[in-house]
C-alpha cells in the first residue's frame, strides 16, 4: 500500500554485525545463515563494517524488462538476474501500490533477493495499481507462477519460490495450492499478508483484532474498502465521482512519502472534489480526507464480508499448499495485524503444512522501527536462512 512496507529497511546499525560475530564465536556458521545475514544487512541499507564484511557473499544483478502472460493478456514485469549460477527462480508480487514494481523499496527488495543468487521475476498486477482487491488477482498470480516455472531459462525445470507482499501475500498462498502449481512451488512467502480477508477488513473498520485486543488501524485501509464498495454506499450517479475523489486521496498519500509539495496539492484537490460531491458521497469523502476511521468504519463494516468473501481471496479455509509456507510479519503492523500470520500458521500446521512463522519488531507496515535487539536480528537472520536454503 502507498503507506506500506518498509521491505526490510530495518534499523540494525550494530546488531546485524553482533549477531554475525556471535555465530562466528559459537562456531556454528552455515552458508545459508551467512547469506541471510548479508541479505538483512543489504535490505537494512547498512554501511560500515558489517556491509563491507558481507559484500563478498552477494552477486551483481542485471535488470531486464519483460512481459509475463496470463489468461487475460500480458503483465508488465522485470527480471532481476544474478551474475553466475542461479540458486532458483522466484516470482515476486508487490502489494497495493500505484507504483507497482517501480516502487523504490520494492525494487530494492527484489534486487537484494536476486543478489542471493536467485532469478527474481517481479510481476505487476493491474488491479493492485488501482487499489482494487479482486479474485482475478489470484488467477494472475497462478498463471504468472506457472509461466515462470515452465521457462527453462528461468527455472531450469525446478520448483520455484513465490513471494507476495502485503495483501499479495495471502493471495500468493491461495494461488500456490491450485492444481497447476501444487508440485511446481518449492515454497511461498507471505510478507505481512492476511490469512482471512474479511477478518482483516473487519479489523480495519473496528480496530479490534481477532483475539479481542485493540490496535488503532491505519486510516488508509478504510479508504481502500470504501473504494471497493462505493456502489453499495451511494446512488449510482455518485459512484464514479466518489471513486475519483478517493483515488485522488490515495495518490496524495503515495506522494506524501516522496514529494511533500506534490502531495499537498493532491490532498487539496481531494478536498475540492469532496466539496463538489452530493450527499451522501460528500460526507463519506470528507471522512476520508479527515482520516476519520471512527465514522467510516461502522458504515463500511456491514459490507466487508460480501466484499472480501470470495474464496480466491483468503488462504484460510482454502486448499492447503504442498510446499513450505513462510509467514513474516511486523509485530506492530496496523494495516494487516500480525495475528493474521499467527492464526494462519496454526491453521496450516493443523492441516499438515510445514510453516515457518516470525512476527518481529524489526519490520512494520508503515515506518521503520528504530529499536532493535540482538535476539530479534538473530531470529530474522534464521528465518531468511531457512528460506534461502530452499
Whether the pLDDT of residue 56 is over 50: the answer is no
Neighbours of 213 (CB within 10 A): 10
Whether the pLDDT of residue 27 is over 70: the answer is no
211-220 pLDDT per residue, tens: 899 999 999 9
340-353 pLDDT per residue, tens: 999 999 999 999 99
Structural domains of the chain in order of their starting residue, each with its CATH number: 15-196+314-388 (3.40.50.1820), 199-308 (no CATH)
Please report the pLDDT score of residue 33 as a whole number: 65
Please report the pLDDT score of residue 46 as a whole number: 46
196 in Cβ contact with 341 (< 8 Å): no
| Cell numbers linked to 142 | 497462478
Whether the pLDDT of residue 29 is over 70: the answer is no
* Band of pLDDT at residue 58, cut at 50, 70 and 90: low
Q: Which residue has the cell 485493540?
A: 214
Whether the pLDDT of residue 28 is over 60: the answer is no
Could you give the CA distance from residue 378 to residue 236 in angstroms, rounded to a whole number? 54
More confident of the two residues 313 and 52: 313
160 in Cβ contact with 149 (< 8 Å): yes
Please state the rounded mean pLDDT for residues 54-81: 88
Please state the rounded mean pLDDT for residues 190-218: 96
Length of the chain: 390
Please report the pLDDT score of residue 362 as a whole number: 83
Could you give the CA distance from residue 153 to residue 287 in angstroms, rounded to a whole number? 51
Please state the rounded mean pLDDT for residues 168-187: 96
More confident of the two residues 35 and 206: 206
Nearest Cα residue to 95 out of 1, 178, 2, 215: 1
314-335 pLDDT per residue, tens: 999 999 999 999 999 999 999 9
258-269 pLDDT per residue, tens: 899 999 999 999
Amino acid at each position: 500500500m502507498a503507506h506500506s512496507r518498509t521491505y526490510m529497511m530495518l534499523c540494525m546499525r550494530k546488531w546485524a554485525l553482533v549477531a554475525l560475530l556471535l555465530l562466528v564465536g559459537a562456531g556454528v556458521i552455515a552458508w545459508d545463515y551467512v547469506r541471510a545475514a548479508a541479505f538483512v544487512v543489504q535490505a537494512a541499507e547498512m554501511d560500515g563494517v558489517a556491509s563491507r564484511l558481507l559484500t563478498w557473499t552477494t552477486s551483481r544483478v542485471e535488470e531486464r524488462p519483460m512481459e509475463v502472460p496470463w489468461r487475460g493478456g500480458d503483465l508488465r514485469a522485470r527480471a532481476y538476474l544474478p551474475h553466475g549460477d542461479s540458486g532458483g527462480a522466484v516470482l515476486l508480487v508487490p502489494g497495493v501500490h500505484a507504483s507497482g514494481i517501480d516502487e523504490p523499496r520494492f525494487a530494492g527488495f527484489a534486487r537484494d533477493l536476486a543478489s542471493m543468487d536467485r532469478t527474481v521475476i517481479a510481476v505487476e498486477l493491474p488491479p493492485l495499481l488501482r487499489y482494487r482487491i479482486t479474485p482475478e488477482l489470484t488467477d494472475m498470480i497462478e498463471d504468472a507462477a506457472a509461466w515462470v516455472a515452465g521457462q527453462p531459462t528461468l527455472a531450469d525445470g525446478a520448483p520455484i519460490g513465490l513471494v507476495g507482499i502485503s495483501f499479495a501475500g495471502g493471495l500468493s498462498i491461495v494461488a500456490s495450492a491450485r492444481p497447476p502449481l501444487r508440485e511446481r512451488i518449492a515454497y511461498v512467502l507471505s510478507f505481512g499478508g492476511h490469512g482471512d480477508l474479511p477478518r482483516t477488513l473487519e479489523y480495519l473498520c473496528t480496530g479490534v483484532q481477532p483475539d479481542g485486543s485493540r490496535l488503532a488501524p491505519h486510516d488508509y485501509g478504510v479508504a481502500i474498502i470504501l473504494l471497493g464498495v462505493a456502489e453499495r454506499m451511494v446512488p449510482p450517479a455518485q459512484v464514479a465521482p466518489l471513486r475519483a475523489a478517493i483515488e485522488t486521496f490515495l495518490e496524495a498519500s503515495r506522494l506524501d512519502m516522496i514529494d511533500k509539495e506534490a502531495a499537498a496539492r493532491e490532498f487539496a484537490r481531494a478536498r475540492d472534489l469532496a466539496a463538489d460531491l452530493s450527499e451522501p458521497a460528500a460526507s463519506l469523502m470528507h471522512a476520508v480526507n479527515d482520516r476519520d476511521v471512527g465514522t467510516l468504519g461502522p458504515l463500511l463494516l456491514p459490507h466487508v464480508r460480501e466484499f472480501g468473501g470470495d474464496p480466491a481471496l483468503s488462504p484460510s479455509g482454502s486448499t492447503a499448499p504442498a510446499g513450505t509456507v513462510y509467514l513474516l510479519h511486523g509485530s506492530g503492523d496496523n494495516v494487516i495485524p500480525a495475528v493474521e500470520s499467527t492464526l494462519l500458521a496454526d491453521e496450516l500446521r493443523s492441516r499438515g503444512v510445514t510453516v515457518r512463522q516470525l512476527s518481529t519488531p524489526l519490520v512494520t507496515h508503515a515506518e521503520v522501527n528504530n529499536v532493535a535487539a540482538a535476539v530479534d536480528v538473530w531470529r530474522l537472520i534464521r528465518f531468511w536462512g531457512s528460506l534461502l536454503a530452499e
